Amino acid sequence: MAFDNSFSAIRPLFRTAMNSLIKFKEWKDAFNVQNIPSTIINDAYHIDTSSGGRKGAYDQNSQEIEHDVIIRVFKKGYRNTAEAIDAAMTDYGLILHTVLAPTNRLGSRIKNIYLNDVSIQPYDPSNDNIVLLEITFTCLMEICT
């Protein structure tokens, strides 16, 4: 059996989904989300794929693996953070609609994607003019050996 690295499909799937929404631009720093320049932070997004593990069924031929994906979206509130929160809620709905579309979440490499958690909070406790929308998804994959 040929090796199929389903994990390599995760980031491109989420990147394609986010980029299809047009207004978002990816911040590609692998780990640091604190260094986004203020000139591009509004509607920037970051993909974090740093955690996962075996959670589901397994036998001698296959294992179900769940891998978490955190999408962070940054919204400038300027002087009205309530409007930034409203905009983040709208973005949350758009992102869910796009990522959880059956064509994205029910594939041969990624078996399913589901919402795990969401939060809307200040980007930095000392500066609440920027709102951080953080959506955690879990990707289910089956690895055959």
**Domain boundaries, given as residue ranges, for the chain:** 6-30+40-144
What is the CB-side half-sphere exposure of residue 85 using CA atoms within 13 A? 10
Rounded CA separation 39/61 (Å): 50
Rounded CA separation 85/75 (Å): 8
pLDDT at 115: 96
| Beta bridge mates, 68 | 51, 138
- pLDDT tens, residue by residue, 95-114: 999 999 998 888 777 889 99
Does the structure show a pLDDT above 50 at 1?
A: no
Q: CATH says 6-30+40-144 is which class? A: alpha beta
- pLDDT tens, residue by residue, 21-43: 988 998 887 667 777 887 888 99
pLDDT at 2: 47
For the entire predicted model, the pTM comes to 0.86
Q: How many beta carbons lie within 10 A of that of residue 60, not counting itself?
A: 6
pLDDT at 33: 73
